[in-house]
Structure 1
């Protein structure tokens, strides 16, 4: 046998050995410890908290002294300022006052105690001498009264001229009215006060306190003991200087511990206690019970929501195939959604049900679009095609399946539909039921075939109305030079998914979704002083989904440009002639990122009933949540 024969035989043996070795190579196995806890995490997804009886402690009712307050006094009406000239000798005071009233067009009422104010005592009137030239009316009027031991008060449009004895009598009358009003208010408003401590179990203490504070009156202060410095009337004073102006202002207002109250507010005060995470209430028994009932409504256990997400990276073709393959059942009619055709954005079903495609605006120029379903018999236009065949995964019967309607991938909407060109790059939202087993099995199978790459598969459980987010990436150092030297700063280049669920009616959720995708430009030709630029993309959307629906976010694309130089060695380096022996090529690879979010409302943990024991004493009735003293 020649050498050539030995070479052929040796090559065949080597090939056989290589194939045998390749067949014996095992696929990499998952770590048993990690796999065990993955299974445990799927089995024990958790529950929403069950409500428990609230502990409320009431103290014994007690009379609480409350401060007295007076309403703020209104400023009196100003007297006229016009200039007057008076030259009178040995003239009756009453006549001078009336002349001044006519000159200023004022309404003046004279007390009967003033000499000369009545016909019987006119001959006993006070005589005055006045010589005033171009003086203000108010100064002349007050000086005239003060010189003769008189005073005045302004009540609306009337000026009352009184003697000092009249003013002191008026002050006593006002004080008597104040006492009567205060006693009346005390008899009506003074009630036994109680102090209650209410534990806050689920809500935030600060938010409950802020809500209850708006229900109670604001704090107010008053003079200690309600005492006033009383002085006798002085000549030239107004009645307002020593007594309240009107009967409404002089009523002493009685307030509870919360202070002054607006209409609708309760007579109460609340104080948060951080140590025991409780609210301390001081109020009459009826108002305290109202606040406790309000806390019962506000501090309820909120449902928890499990958010499961898949963040995968694939190429455009695989993403389109996923859109074709997802199928489901709507009202006994099978249908299938396919990628959009040129110039169409409507979807069609034979069942009349509606599928939604909520587009969302992005910072890279993506536009929002809405895809609605209409009831027709044929899908002659739109991104949905109807079929009555069963060439998809069935809902019932053999195989794994979803539980609702399918979702298409809108990343291939064309120029006529969105204006984004042949391959639209908008961030798009769709939602519907896929079925967790269908989604996870299909993504896992595609990952094993290296058609997709599962970047992250987080599962987060959060309470209703509380945000949950997943962030993955790195910080990029930036070097900047200034007069103070060289500084190193960091910029975030991360993929962040933030979700805020709100349970609407127990079966639907309102979701706020924020997606941020910041990536470093790998092309060093675009770098500035060695610092790479960061491409930022962000989208926000609010939508309502059903419990268990899967939301799909697509359109997060990235183009990778690879430049390559090839040619004949040595010859391509010849000056002038080298271009004939070398070539330059550029390869563009587009990657698509898909995000799948499935929110599931966790139900309350079932409580097993305790079987009765023969001969046991029947347990007492459960204590009510609010225990009265």
Structure 2
């Protein structure tokens, strides 16, 4: 039991060291004693730094928001010093008094390993910061996926512990999306809660309305924090606002969508799914493509050439999920919506409305984010008549009925992230 306690304590301090060496520091000292510089770095980073005998001299340091490891490298290289990392301590020594930090045949070892879960380039970026500055080397064999580290026995022991900690499987997240075309009142029938929390860095709550493109209010061509009622009162044209909401019961949501689809008040256009790793981007696309003829007249002849051109209107979601320590999911979300507008067509080629927004939202595992605001007006004409009677001269009009109007519908996008295999430890 005592041995396990010692091992846990050592692992704890090694983890702290890894965090401290990558902590960002800023320091401004002019013509200062090099010992005072390392003392200041130790204090502001809460890291153990031991300065060896004979380390002396003056140096000016102007560091702004760099990692502690980069700061140590910069100071030692400019003051003719060297450093090494052992356990939870950074040792600073003179170049002509390397002592234990020198790699010799007596204290050198090589370690071969193949990462199981992390890419080779990711390992290279991390491990290179912890090699001994006096000869520690790392070689990557891309053909076999092997990493070879040569370093002092003491530092190599620390590196093995570090590798074991970072070479861990990343959790996976299933992202389900539904792209739904609904009538004007369907959002109310679904019981959507418009307004979800964003991360603490913005200190704001949704709904957000993003004003872009044709028909936007010229005084609000940026992200604003408007209640839903104010968005409606703003007099903004169709296909302009993007609003966010949430729904915390996916089962009930699916049931309501199916009910609305049965009544003809909603249509599920597309329902893609994608599995991605924690902190890795996933991309979902859905759309339609049209083809049209383009006639060109040659400048040298009078012959007209006809080309078939393509255009595409689509919904594009770029989603990067991050599992937080409390089990919630932070979504870095980019939404791009475009639709053809046949009411503004020229030569039977429709105009295209575009919207784009980027944001961050925090959801519970399995909670659904709703993206709305892409509205569209459809003009319709209906004609009903009684067979035979409607064709009687003069009297036939009594047996015919014509109606015309406009119908407002909206495109809603439902995004549901689910952590696969349970919550992160």
Report the Cα offset of residue 588 of structure 1: 2.0
Matched, 1:438 2:252: yes
Distance 1:275 1:599 in 2: 36
Q: Does 1:599 align with 2:417?
A: yes
1:545 counterpart residue number: 363
Q: CA deviation at 1:296?
A: 2.6
**Take 1:187 and 1:544, find their aligned partners in 2: how far apart are those partners?**
49
2:207 is paired with a residue of what secondary structure? Answer: strand
* Structure 2 match to 1:319: 187
Who is 2:113 aligned against? Answer: 198
Report Cα offsets for 1:446-502 as digits up to 9, x if no partner: 212222111122332211111222212234446664879776554332122232100
What is residue 278 of structure 2 aligned with on the other side?
A: 464
Aligned mates of 2:100, 2:356 — CA distance in 1: 65
- Say if 1:587 and 1:272 are closer, same or farther in 2 by CA, change over 3 A: farther
1:305-454 paired onto structure 2 within 5 Å: 305-323=173-191, 357-364=206-213, 365=216, 368=223, 370=225, 410=228, 413-415=231-233, 419-420=234-235, 426-433=241-248, 435-454=249-268
Query: Contact 1:411 / 1:423 at 8 angstroms: preserved in 2?
Result: no
Q: What do the CA deviations read for 1:147-191 (whole angstroms, capped 9, x no partner)?
A: xxxxxxxxxxxxxxxxxxxxxxxxxxxxxxxxxx99865786243
- In 2, Cα distance between equivalents of 1:599 and 1:454: 19
Q: RMSD value over aligned CA atoms?
A: 4.3
CA contact (8 A) 1:465 1:502 kept: yes
Aligned partner of residue 560 in structure 1, secondary structure: strand
SS of equivalent to 1:431: strand
Match of 2:332 in 1: 512
Give the number of aligned pairs: 301
Q: Output the CA distance in 1 between the equivalents of 2:209 and 2:135.
A: 49
Please say if residues 473 and 495 of structure 1, whose CA atoms lie closer than 8 Å, have aligned partners that are also in contact. yes
Structure 1 position 561 matched with structure 2 position 376: no
Distance in 2, matches of 1:279 and 1:362, equals 50
The answer on whether the counterparts of 1:464 and 1:502 sit within 8 Å (CA) in structure 2 is yes
Q: How does 1:194-233 map to 2 (within 5 A)?
A: 194-216=109-131
Cα distance in 2, alignment partners of residues 182 and 288 from structure 1: 21
SS in 2 for 1:526: strand
Q: Deviations over 1:5-47 (max 9, x none)?
A: xxxxxxxxxxxxxxxxxxxxxxxxxxxxxxxxxxxxxxxxxxx
Alpha carbons 1:414, 1:424 under 8 Å: kept:
no
Decide whether aligned partners of structure 1 residues 585 and 561 sit closer, same or farther in structure 2, where only a CA change above 3 A counts.
Answer: same
CA change 1:276–1:269 in 2 (3 A) is same
Task: Classify 1:585/1:439 alpha carbon distance in 2 versus 1 (closer, same or farther; 3 Å).
Answer: closer
**CA 1:502–1:360 in 2, change beyond 3 Å: closer, same or farther?**
farther
CA shift, 1:370, in A, is 4.5
> What is the DSSP-based 3-state SS (H/G/I as helix, E as strand, rest coil) of the residue aligned with 2:210?
coil
Q: Per residue, is there more strand in 1 or in 2? A: 2
Matched residue, 1:64: none
Report the CA distance between 1:362 and its aligned residue: 4.3
Alpha-carbon distance in 1 for matches of 2:170, 2:419: 11
Q: Which runs of 5+ in 1 are unaligned?
A: 1-180, 217-255, 257-264, 327-336, 340-344, 346-354, 372-382, 384-409, 572-583, 606-629
TM-score by length of 2: 0.59
* 1:303–1:464 contact (8 Å) kept in structure 2: yes
Q: Deviations over 1:194-253 (max 9, x none)?
A: 22112211122222223333444xxxxxxxxxxxxxxxxxxxxxxxxxxxxxxxxxxxxx
Task: Specify whether residues 292 and 442 from structure 1 end up closer, same or farther in structure 2 by C-alpha distance, changes over 3 A only.
Answer: same
Between structure 1 and structure 2, the one with the greater Rg is 1
Deviation for aligned residue 1:298? 2.6
Deviations 1:416-468 (A, max 9, x none): xxx245999521112352x2221111111221222211112233221111122
- Going from structure 1 to structure 2, the CA distance change for 1:562 and 1:298 (only over 3 Å counts) comes to same
Q: Does the 8 Å contact 2:110/2:149 carry over to 1?
A: yes
Partners of 1:422 and 1:494 lie apart in 2 by 20
CA separation in 1, counterparts of 2:159 and 2:244?
43
Contact kept? 2:238, 2:374, Cα under 8 Å: no
Residue number among 73, 82, 102 corresponding to 1:189 in the alignment: 102
CA distance in 2, matches of 1:423, 1:473: 19
Report if the CA contact (8 A) 1:413-1:423 is conserved: no
1:412 and 1:451 map into 2 onto residues whose CA distance is: 25
Match of 1:455 among 253, 256, 269: 269
Task: Measure the CA separation in 2 of the matches of 1:468 and 1:412.
Answer: 33
Does structure 1 residue 290 correspond to structure 2 residue 158?
Answer: yes
